[in-house]
Structure 1
Amino acid sequence: VHLCLRKADQKLVILKQIPVEQMSKDERLAAQNECQVLKLLSHPNVIEYYENFLEDKALMIAMEYAPGGTLAEFIHKRCNSLLDEDTILHFFVQILLALHHVHTKQILHRDLKTQNILLDKHRMIVKIGDFGISKILSSKSKAYTVVGTPCYISPELCEGKPYNQKSDIWALGCVLYELASLKRAFEAANLPALVLKIMSGTFAPISDRYSPDLRQLILSMLNLDPSKRPQLNEIMAQAICIRPLLNLYTDVGSVKMRRQVTLPPQPEKPLAPVPTVTHSRTGGRASSARSRGVRCGSAKTGIPPPLSSIYTWGSGITTPLRLPMLNTEVVQVSAGRTQKAGVTKSGRLILWEAPPVGAAGGASLPGATEQLQPQFVSRFLEGQSGVTIKHVSCGDLFAACLTDRGIIMTFGSGSNGCLGHGNFTDVSQPKIVEALLGYEMVQVACGASHVLAVSNEREVFAWGRGDNGRLGLGSLECHNCPQQVTVPPEHEAQRVICGIDSSMVLTVKNQILACGSNRCNKLGLDRISSAEEPSPEDQVEEATVFMCAQSAPLNQEPIVCADIGTAHSAAVTASGHCYTFGSNQHGQLGTNSCRNSRVPHLVVGLETMKVTVVACGDAFTVAIGADGEVCTWGKGARGRLGRKDEETGVPRPVQLEETHPYLVTSVACCHGNTLLAVK
């Protein structure tokens, strides 16, 4: 835990550092839980949550700083000097209000103790914190796991029985007893003896200086029978708590006044000269520190050969355009409606952006007589120190990144809940999807307005827009937070694919599961056993849950790669054959006959290459061969195919400006654009 100064407002905050790389799944769940709980709470007597982020492979939680230390330290410093009853009740009712707020959010604290209760600098306002093992309960539900600090554990927890909010009330009784006696209600030399004490409910009485009402309140909260312990609102209604509660609302925040004593006038003294302060040493150090942080340009001694090349075409770029590189090797690329992104071998996220209209290298102004070749600027996404990215996927105006530690971060437009942060707010820098912190994710895919992700334990999660059933959750609802998707029990997810309005899962056994819009049978969900067109009753227009592809040969051959376009899809078999299915309005299925067929089509013209990867744009297809061949077919308008508009409906090669042998490491298509990485 670190005390830090926030530069934006010069405010002291606490940064809780949780090392992600050494964390087990249970520890990740605890970290996720703490973030989730803190975000739900907003109360003056609860430590405020600010934000979280990744830094140097650790999860950092920023929260409010309470400078007065803990209530346990406050009690310890009292030695044997008992507190007066008014002070005890002043602290107690604040804890009472905070716990009431927590319980109204259906949350159990489960670790309420004086070490987790903090004080302000005047030691008058208390704030409860440390929600690491808190539990969010559904209505009337009970928790079962044994957690908490032994001295404050309730009898039902000792017996392993289910428990609810009444266990927090037991802990609250222990805290009240500690305030009144300056020692714990239940202490013993070892755990078995402590459990026996708790189970018997025996503890020393508090001092006679305190009122019978206070003694009775402690006894009621430390009742062995949870059903006989009072509710929080019943405690608030007790006569002993009414006045402290009223005082709390009228006195907290009031300004203490002191009577000013009028002194006889003193003879005026001349003002002393202000001593001159020399800042040269400090200023010099700051200056030198800044100068060390600036990268010094070095003389070019020769341009090294590129480690990899990135090409793009489409949106008016008719032939492959080599994008600028930052002397690094890009191993994976992704394209969105407006974004072009890649991941380097060293784990950095690189973006390619077009200059604004009219700027040097930017798009031509309207009415210009000469069309210039568009230029792009490359840059690394900053602000992710120590975070290693291993995969990126782009949607429409947003993107998702996967780190080497299995954490998903998203940024961009929050419309439709695509970012998975539980809201619809835009985010400019990658932010952790907190709901998935308890899982080690292995892949993420973005559609136009929805996201799918898969964990190392083959769990599938979905969020974003739900039209057409694209999330596979059995409904058309939109979700702004990840939801676990039910996959048919006999299948295990290996990879997820998102389209405009549909989704696919490739299973461990190389089968296709799909949901969403099956327009023109673009998901292969129609029941087709031969080359004959399916009857109307065998056609599926939409699926709201994941179903197995039922169109032969997609349900007969092992599928190793697939992609979804706007109205068509493509799949690659283990033998290297490419099948296309869906609409062929623009020849995107790889045949010049614009047939209206729902039967999957084996693409001819690729016999000389073994297809390994396929990508689908809005109305075109790109196939990659094992030896680096690149072939395109479909709609040729605005440079979609990266080649001359001849025989657009059949596969033809795309020529890249490479003088050495190369391999294609990654390809991505979105709308009318293609992004290609070669090594």
Structure 2
Amino acid sequence: MENYEKIRVVGRGAYGTAHLCKRLSDKKNVIIKQIPVEQMTKDERQAALNEVKVLSMLSHPNIIEYYENFLEDKAMMIVMEYAPGGTLLDYLQSQGTTLLEEEEILHFFAQMLLSIQHVHSKQILHRDLKTQNILLDKMKKVVKIGDFGISKVLSSKSKAYTVVGTPCYISPELCEGKPYNQKSDIWALGCVLYELASLKRAFEAANLPALILKIMRGTFSPISEHYSCELRSLILSMLHLDPNKRPDINQIMAQPIVINALINIHTDMGKIPCARMHRPITPALPSTARSRLRGSAVNGRDSLPSKPVSMSSVYCWGGGVNTAIKLPLPTNDTQVVEVSAGRTQKAAVTKNGRLFNWESPGVGTDSLLPGSLDSTTPAYIPRFLEGQSAVAIQHVACGDLFTACLTDRGILMTYGSGANGCLGHGNLNDVTQAKIVEALLGYEVVQVSCGASHVMAVTNENEVFSWGRGDNGRLGLGSQDSHTTPQPVPFTEGVSPCFVQCGVDCSMVLTLDNKLYCCGNNRYNKCCLDDNTVDGITTKSIEEVRIFTRVTSPPIGNSLVKTVSMGTSHSAIVTVDGELYTCGANQFGQLGYQTDFNSKQAGQVLTLKDYKIQHVACGDTFTVAVSQDGEVFSFGKSARGRLGRSDTDTMTPKPVNITSDELYSVVSISCSHGTTLLATRPLQGILD
């Protein structure tokens, strides 16, 4: 070490310590990896020698350069190039939630390709490609691949068998113990490319078995549509479960999107950056959409609104608001993908994974500016959920005074009132910030539903869990016991649940083959469990079931069900053909048609038979339905603005007037008690 001056320790790994040093001959900073060999096993010593062997074989501008090695103080010293820009992982974490531009992603990726092409040309497998082992220069423009400690030098085009590498980046063939070759590095490189495009790992789980399961199934979140189809397709091809169907390095480099990036490396490196004008790309309007323009007609370019089109709109009515009002959003570019209403909560999830609630000032607060006039419309203030900067929320469900939210990694979190154990944390304590439901950490939850006092969740393995209040058998566990932690719900073999819906005192489950199962209180036949086999007349009335029972009575038993919703004493069911059926109590006309006193059979809402229904939501005594073309209809009890218009109770579905200056489609709807939330997005692109 007489030729080097130690500056500081910059890292510690499995085999040694990395020191930042200054080479005295030219004052250049270098990294010296100190590997104590005396106390190592034979295999560990071989790994250290292997790194020296591999580094000495490689010479490429995008690979950490090897200088020399020597023995000192019973340790092997490996001297190599220093990359002052830190790791690619550090760089991605510094982005926060701001996605990289596609040009920058391809700039990094092309350099990785060149380095791995060089590695593979030497018949070497890296076997530990990850963002922690990809380094950057001082300007964070040049990529340097490092850490070849567990690389494998192939004597020929044989395949390696040893399972090594970082778990989040290992390929399916490693998980299964199958032989692999360079295609394993392609998988890891695909994981890195996914991470560049999403700022999160493709495969992550709470434990190793769950992670292996995800990898072997190729389960990862979709790539943002912010990027081109070519980039998304490239990532998918590199993460193909079959290694034989993954492209090799040369095939990847031959793709047009990559060729341009490779050319730019040699022509643009060192250029002086300048401002660039980006012309917004407006997608074409889907030809199948029968869209409406609220408030004005589009006859040409001059009739388009001059102000920028909002990314989303959320409307609310009920609770004393007689017409649909537009709720404020946190920012002008907020894109809402889902809304949920509880007894007191109004929540929404954005496209970039943020969850926010609308808060209304309490009684006695000064919600108006001095000198302003009083308003009959309540003020709603959107506020992002605290403590979620490190997670991306993709799904939300509100119950009575509590909320459940689901991350894009399938992790369920809950917060709010702990009454009845609805938070699933094993106690009745209230929680102010979202807390992980630890009992479900070993599962990937894909959907959750909250009732007034119970919760159900379904996993990607078609398993259902329920917890909370157990009266009437609403949990589907065969008893009326309540539970404060998630309990597995039994189903007969061959039944594959994929969607759950909680009512006030009952529950519904949809299966992959579009069959409907129900449990809990069946009063008024709101769960469609009565036997109506003789001319639509009830021959067997069922008051309550404590396990999930398939609905077999016509017409629902003969239909393929797409989605369901449950109110206090009635339910609404949409078939895959877009037909709307309702069943249960009809005191206020919430079923949408006149019912016969002697029949409790589910019936079709014939007034809407000419519309293909896409969304439906049930409030306490009213129903809201949305057609595929975005028409919104409501029927039932009208008190306190439940129907979104000044009207009397009606069993005839009538339109809800959504005032908008733009073409839109409905993306989400939710009802709770007497309130409705409805989220829309604009259909842009009508320019001529």
Contact 2:309 2:662 in 1 (8 A): no
1:166-565 alignment, distance < 5 Å = 304-325=308-329, 326-327=331-332, 328-361=334-367, 372-535=376-539, 538-565=540-567
Q: How big is each residue's C-alpha offset from its partner over 1:253-275, in whole Å with a ceiling of 9 and x where there is no partner?
A: xxxxxxxxxxxxxxxxxxxxxxx
CA distance in 1: counterparts of 2:480 and 2:326, whole angstroms: 41
Alignment-mate amino acid for residue 674 of structure 1: T
The change in CA–CA distance for 1:306 and 1:490 in structure 2 (over 3 A counts) is same
CA distance in 1: counterparts of 2:671 and 2:167, whole angstroms: 33
CA distance in 2: counterparts of 1:430 and 1:553, whole angstroms: 41
Alignment-mate amino acid for residue 326 of structure 2: R
Out of 643, 649, 653, the residue aligned to residue 645 of structure 2 is: 643
SS at match of 1:445: strand
Alignment-mate amino acid for residue 458 of structure 1: N
Give the superposition deviation at 1:547: 0.2
Contact 1:444 1:496 in 2 (8 A): yes
CA distance in 1: counterparts of 2:636 and 2:168, whole angstroms: 45
Contact 1:583 1:596 in 2 (8 A): no
Alignment-mate amino acid for residue 345 of structure 2: Q
Q: How big is each residue's C-alpha offset from its partner over 1:472-517, in whole Å with a ceiling of 9 and x where there is no partner?
A: 0001011000000001223110100001011000011101101000
CA distance in 1: counterparts of 2:557 and 2:460, whole angstroms: 25
Structure 1 residues not aligned, in runs of 5+: 3-18, 26-54, 62-130, 134-301, 364-368
Question: Structure 1 stretch 483-492 or stretch 385-394: which is displaced more?
Answer: 483-492
CA distance in 2: counterparts of 1:346 and 1:481, whole angstroms: 30
The change in CA–CA distance for 1:489 and 1:455 in structure 2 (over 3 A counts) is same
Give the superposition deviation at 1:385: 1.5
Alignment-mate amino acid for residue 467 of structure 1: D
The yes-or-no answer on 1:617 pairing with 2:619 is: yes
CA distance in 1: counterparts of 2:594 and 2:679, whole angstroms: 29
CA distance in 2: counterparts of 1:475 and 1:335, whole angstroms: 29
Contact 1:453 1:496 in 2 (8 A): yes
The change in CA–CA distance for 1:652 and 1:485 in structure 2 (over 3 A counts) is same
Q: How big is each residue's C-alpha offset from its partner over 1:291-347, in whole Å with a ceiling of 9 and x where there is no partner?
A: xxxxxxxxxxx9743101001111100100100012200000100000000100000
Give the superposition deviation at 1:663: 0.5
SS at match of 1:378: strand
The change in CA–CA distance for 1:461 and 1:597 in structure 2 (over 3 A counts) is same
1:33-182 alignment, distance < 5 Å = none
SS at match of 2:472: helix
CA distance in 2: counterparts of 1:520 and 1:21, whole angstroms: 51
- Aligned-pair identity in percent equals 52
SS at match of 2:581: strand
Residue of structure 2 in register with 1:147 after alignment: none
CA distance in 2: counterparts of 1:22 and 1:401, whole angstroms: 27
The change in CA–CA distance for 1:585 and 1:596 in structure 2 (over 3 A counts) is farther
Residue of structure 2 in register with 1:184 after alignment: none
SS at match of 1:555: helix
Out of 653, 659, 662, the residue aligned to residue 660 of structure 1 is: 662
Tell me the TM-score normalized by structure 1.
0.54
CA distance in 2: counterparts of 1:442 and 1:20, whole angstroms: 23
Give the superposition deviation at 1:608: 3.1
SS at match of 1:650: strand
SS at match of 1:562: strand
Q: How big is each residue's C-alpha offset from its partner over 1:118-137, in whole Å with a ceiling of 9 and x where there is no partner?
A: xxxxxxxxxxxxx999xxxx
The change in CA–CA distance for 1:309 and 1:595 in structure 2 (over 3 A counts) is farther
Give the superposition deviation at 1:593: 5.4
CA distance in 2: counterparts of 1:655 and 1:380, whole angstroms: 29
The change in CA–CA distance for 1:476 and 1:23 in structure 2 (over 3 A counts) is farther
Q: How big is each residue's C-alpha offset from its partner over 1:517-568, in whole Å with a ceiling of 9 and x where there is no partner?
A: 0010000011123542212xx1111011000013211110101011111000
Give the superposition deviation at 1:361: 4.0
The yes-or-no answer on 1:626 pairing with 2:632 is: no
Residue of structure 1 in register with 2:16 after alignment: none
Give the superposition deviation at 1:350: 1.3
Give the superposition deviation at 1:646: 4.5
Paired residues in the alignment total: 390
CA distance in 2: counterparts of 1:422 and 1:676, whole angstroms: 34
Contact 2:589 2:635 in 1 (8 A): yes
CA distance in 2: counterparts of 1:523 and 1:516, whole angstroms: 8
CA distance in 2: counterparts of 1:469 and 1:546, whole angstroms: 9
The change in CA–CA distance for 1:553 and 1:592 in structure 2 (over 3 A counts) is closer
Contact 2:619 2:674 in 1 (8 A): yes
CA distance in 2: counterparts of 1:435 and 1:655, whole angstroms: 44
Structure 2 residues not aligned, in runs of 5+: 1-10, 13-165, 173-198, 210-305, 682-688
Contact 2:538 2:599 in 1 (8 A): no
Alignment-mate amino acid for residue 364 of structure 2: G
CA distance in 2: counterparts of 1:678 and 1:311, whole angstroms: 8
Contact 1:399 1:412 in 2 (8 A): yes
CA distance in 2: counterparts of 1:433 and 1:24, whole angstroms: 29
CA distance in 1: counterparts of 2:529 and 2:645, whole angstroms: 33
CA distance in 2: counterparts of 1:362 and 1:476, whole angstroms: 48
Question: Structure 1 stretch 596-605 or stretch 450-459: which is displaced more?
Answer: 596-605
Residue of structure 2 in register with 1:136 after alignment: none
Alignment-mate amino acid for residue 349 of structure 1: L
The change in CA–CA distance for 1:669 and 1:21 in structure 2 (over 3 A counts) is farther
The change in CA–CA distance for 1:504 and 1:445 in structure 2 (over 3 A counts) is same
The change in CA–CA distance for 1:654 and 1:546 in structure 2 (over 3 A counts) is same
Q: How big is each residue's C-alpha offset from its partner over 1:346-389, in whole Å with a ceiling of 9 and x where there is no partner?
A: 000011111112334479xxxxx976211100111121122000
Residue of structure 1 in register with 2:576 after alignment: 574
CA distance in 2: counterparts of 1:547 and 1:22, whole angstroms: 42
CA distance in 2: counterparts of 1:640 and 1:463, whole angstroms: 30
Alignment RMSD, CA only?
2.9
Give the superposition deviation at 1:661: 1.4
CA distance in 1: counterparts of 2:552 and 2:344, whole angstroms: 35
Contact 1:592 1:650 in 2 (8 A): no
CA distance in 2: counterparts of 1:56 and 1:502, whole angstroms: 38
Contact 1:584 1:595 in 2 (8 A): no
The change in CA–CA distance for 1:383 and 1:556 in structure 2 (over 3 A counts) is same
The change in CA–CA distance for 1:21 and 1:596 in structure 2 (over 3 A counts) is farther
CA distance in 1: counterparts of 2:380 and 2:534, whole angstroms: 48
The change in CA–CA distance for 1:543 and 1:306 in structure 2 (over 3 A counts) is same
